Homo-oligomer: A and B are copies of this chain.
Amino acid sequence: MSPTELAPDRIRKGERTRTRILEAAADVLARKGYAAATLTEIASVAKMQAGSLYYHFDSKDAIVEEVLAVGMEHARDAIRAALNAAGEDASGHDRLMAAVVAYVTAITLDSDFTKANIRCFEESPEATRENLAVPLREFANGWVRLIEAGQRDGSLRSDVEARVIARMTIAAMNSVVGWWRFDGEFNIDHVARMFARTVVDGLAIHG
């Protein structure tokens, strides 16, 4: 907190504009995908001109990268909260179930950041994907650890490879953002529970 820093409300103003741009970018990226998302449209949604974006960001890819990173954080936070609610001593099966329901709910009902991340990560340039490799791997590893914990405590079947099933589960959950609509036929909580019942109970040891 040095005396040379800007006045508090001036910081907030600059931050607000930056946030407005990121929200606009998340909206456009989620709807159009990486390549079709133009700076002109992002600026338009943010109610400014394309050139003005460069005062706040160095490049299109810098904007995209931050949107995707925020999307991953949102998802991670939602899962963490659900796992804390479930408790450390719940079975691996029950914790995986809770994580699936939380994640599916988060990516459909929450901000556009998670949707943008899911839709655009694979389409984005290699440099962007490399910069996000650490949080992405951490995200994937979280699912692997959940499954492995269930295999260890005997609540999930052990004759499948946790790393493979984790990838499969993530893809299955992510697909929901491609077709689910808020005003559609299915209640998202209903969808999330069907997923959990199929994938998680498919892993369950029945007895």
Contacts and interface: CB of A to CB of B under 8 A. Distances in A.
Contacts of A69: none
Contacts of A200: 202
A34 to B, nearest CB: 7
Interface string A71-114: 00000000000000000000000000000000000000000000
A178 interface: yes
Contact of A122 (B160, B169, B178, B191): B178
Contacts of A33: 35, 122-123
Interface string A171-204: 1101110110000001000010011011111110
B164 A175 contact: no
Interface residues of A, number: 35
A168 B197 contact: no
A168 B175 contact: yes
Secondary structure at chain A's binding surface: helix, strand, loop or mixed? helix
A198 B199 contact: yes
Given A160-B194, A161-B194, A186-B161, A179 B167 contact: yes
Nearest to A33: B123
Given A171-B175, A175-B171, A198-B165, A123 B35 contact: yes
Nearest to A194: B160
Interface of A: 33-36, 119, 122-123, 159-161, 164-165, 167-172, 174-176, 178-179, 186, 191, 194-195, 197-203, 206
